[in-house]
Structure 1
Amino acid sequence: MKLKIQLQLLFILILSSSCVRAQLGENEPLFIQDSLKLISSQFKFTEGASVDKKGNVFFTDQPNNTIWKYSTAGKLSLFTAKAGRANGTYFDKKGNLIACADENFKILSFDKNANPTLVYQNPKHSNLNGPNDLWINRKGEIYFTDPYYQRDYWTRKAPAIVGEKVYFLKATKREEGMGGIIVVEDSLQRPNGIVGTPNGKILYVADAKGGKTYQYDIKPDGSLMNRVMLINQGSDGMTLDEHGNIYLTGNGVTIFDKAGKQIAHINVPLARTSNVCFGGKKRNILFITSGKSIYTLPMTVKGVE
């Protein structure tokens, strides 16, 4: 009997110790302080960071019409010099790099050899403002934002359409003109950054002009419901980690938990940040685009891409 009681006490002690360790783990910092590393400042304006299955990161230099690759070995290489003025990018499950190419209001798919194919383009009489950022669910369906940004070297002087919206493109509806996309959000001032949860149930959209980030429930047909103003801050690009924390860009990188509470901030020097994703073989390296530069930061958490 005495031995049995001792074993029970030992079992309780082990459980208690495990709980303490789990609790301590939850309170650990998300990233290693003072480990932000400048990789390069050779670009004009970096954007559109996304990661492939191997952990290589691809990003855009939009004014120079290029897409670059930053490998898991830490090497930079040019992926394509004909990017269609690509901005936001995201990899589909087939390993193709899907890009918002706003030069001609297109969404393009680049294979591993950088050969482009058309995913979507509106009819000329009803052009979009300029596809900016996108997220792809497990079905291969695309959500993308379409804000209007005037650029000096564009010939148009005003938007061709009314409103800046979020669109939904079913995998079976591609390249069918205006009828192929569905407006799922039309009340934001300037929708920009967008990302969804891996289970495809929640979508986050940042209103860059309104300075807020919203959460939506995704219905089975792809439409959105139950909009909640989650974070009183807008963003350009954005990403999620394995715990569902939300990473917003702008003044450095600000990290919020699923409830919208700020839990950390990453200071990035000189320029405003534009995009962010997790890269590396273990998806535990945060990759940050910021003005002319790109940075990396080791993390204690992993991304969900």
Structure 2
Amino acid sequence: MTVTRIRAQWERRDERFGAVNGDEYVKVLFDEGSWLEGPAYSPAWRTLLVSDIPNDRVLAWDEATGGVGVWRSPGGYANGRTIDRAGRMLQCEQGTRSVTRTEPDGTVTVLADRWQGKRLNSPNDLVERSDGSVWFTDPSYGIDSDYEGHRATPEIDGCHVYRRDPDGSVTRVADDFIRPNGLAFSADEQTLYIVDTRREHLRRFDVQPDLSLSGGEVLGTSDAGGFDGLRVDDAGRLWVAAHDGLHCFHPDGTLLGKLLLPEVCSNLTFGGPKRNVLYVTATNLLLSIRLNVTGVR
């Protein structure tokens, strides 16, 4: 497709957001999805992987050519993903109800699909910590209907947050969410931010030395539908997907401003060689804009 452009619309609510800026236009890189999710940028491949959940496929946008192709189909009704420190792709699969890792030779390793012998609901989003642990959310979207997974009866009582350690053990770390969704660590990994989409808010947890969580206070609330995915930039600001675009919060909880976008946003990631290109999935659209801020390493 020919790349089209949308004029960037910034809504500034706090003077501390005044220094945040970028390209005059947001680029539309792809517009033929059904519900796009889970963008993850690989600097080695110069490729952005994106889930098209209802169509059960993973798409790949090539940074060098601008082309979009099918990377994997069927794709396990994949949702969120990340590229780990070894360059491997980790993703949440709603269809297989698991967290998987794609190895360099293309084989798939299941990292987690059960907790205490019971099948997970439908893992949604994940983040890797520097110690090799993988933290993920497990709402029930993939088993609620056949639209983005396979309808099934849940085996676990509730939708929770889990940690998968390098030894393969899976630990529940938070159990008071309705629909946990996007999550991200602060740069020092001492804080974990987690969205509860149903409650339309963002929470802040302290990571203890034993990797348990404490705190959990509400840091920010959406005024435009439920929050979804989120990322942190190198100044500690939180960028959160919402129905009207991306909401940007200061670590103290102040809503600094928004990047308004034309469709309901599901997720985002920082990419490009300098980590200053913001890629956004918004309903059927894959968008990008180069900013004067960078994503946390």
Fold-level similarity (TM above 0.5): yes
Q: Count how many residue pairs are aligned between Structure 1 and Structure 2.
A: 274
Per the TM alignment, residue 70 of structure 1 is displaced from its structure 2 partner at its CA by: 2.3
Q: Are 1:189 and 1:207, in contact at CA under 8 Å, matched by a contact in 2?
A: yes
Q: Which amino acid aligns with 1:229?
A: V
Q: 1:62 aligns with which of 53, 57, 72?
A: 53
Q: Equivalent residue for 2:156?
A: 161
CA RMSD, 1 decimal: 2.2
The answer to whether the 8 Å contact 1:217/1:225 transfers is: yes
Q: Which residue of 1 aligns with 2:258?
A: 265
Contact 1:31 1:297 survives alignment (8 Å)? no
1:33 shift after superposition:
6.0
Cα deviations across residues 27-49 of structure 1 (Å, max 9, x unaligned)?
A: 64423364111111122211001
Identity among equivalent positions (%) equals: 27
The offset of 1:213, in angstroms, is 0.5
**Following superposition of structure 1 onto structure 2, how do residues 25-104 of structure 1 map, counting pairs within 5 Å?**
28-32=18-22, 34-54=24-44, 56-73=47-64, 74-104=66-96
Q: How far apart are residue 82 of structure 1 and its match?
A: 3.5
Amino acid at match of 1:127: R
Matched, 1:107 2:96: no
How far apart, in 1, do the equivalents of 2:160 and 2:221 lie?
20
Partner of 2:276: 284
Query: Is the Cα contact below 8 Å between 2:39 and 2:269 reproduced in 1?
Result: yes
SS at match of 2:25: coil
- AA aligned to 1:99 is Q
Partner-residue secondary structure (3-state), 1:187 = coil
Matched, 1:142 2:134: yes
Provide structure 1 residue ranges, at least 5 long, that are not aligned to the other structure. Answer: 1-25, 175-179
Alpha-carbon distance in 2 for matches of 1:288, 1:49: 7
Once the two structures are TM-superposed, the CA of residue 114 in structure 1 deviates from its matched residue by 3.9
The 5-angstrom pairing of residues 243-254 of structure 1 reads: 243-251=235-243, 252-254=245-247
Q: Is the 8 A contact 1:56 1:279 kept in 2?
A: no
Secondary structure, in 3 states, of the residue corresponding to 2:54?
helix
Is residue 132–residue 166 contact of structure 2 (8 Å, CA) maintained in 1?
Answer: yes
More helix by share: 1
Whole-angstrom CA distance in 2 between matches of 1:124 and 1:90: 25
The TM-score normalised by the length of structure 2 is 0.85
- CA separation in 1, counterparts of 2:39 and 2:253? 23
Alignment partners' CA distance in 1, 2:108 and 2:249: 36
1:220 aligned to 2:209?
yes
Partner of 2:146: 152
The structural deviation recorded for 1:90 is 0.9
Tell me how far 1:275 sits from its aligned partner.
0.4
> Which residue among 187, 195, 216 is the counterpart of 2:184?
195
Q: Which moved more, 1:189-198 or 1:120-129?
A: 120-129
**Any idea what the Cα deviations from partners look like across 1:86-117, whole Å, max 9, x if unmatched?**
10101111111100012121111113454322
User: Which segments of 5 or more consecutive residues in structure 2 lack a partner in the other structure?
Assistant: 1-15
Deviation at 1:78, TM superposition (A): 2.7
Q: Structure 1-normalised TM-score?
A: 0.83
| Partner residue of 2:195 out of 206, 211, 215 | 206
Question: C-alpha distance in 2, partners of 1:193/1:133?
Answer: 6
Q: Give the equivalent residue in structure 2 for 1:183.
A: 172
User: Who wins on radius of gyration, i.e. which is larger?
Assistant: 1
CA distance in 2, matches of 1:121, 1:188: 20
- In the alignment, structure 1 residue 116 sits paired with structure 2 residue 105: no
CA contact (8 A) 1:247 1:255 kept: yes
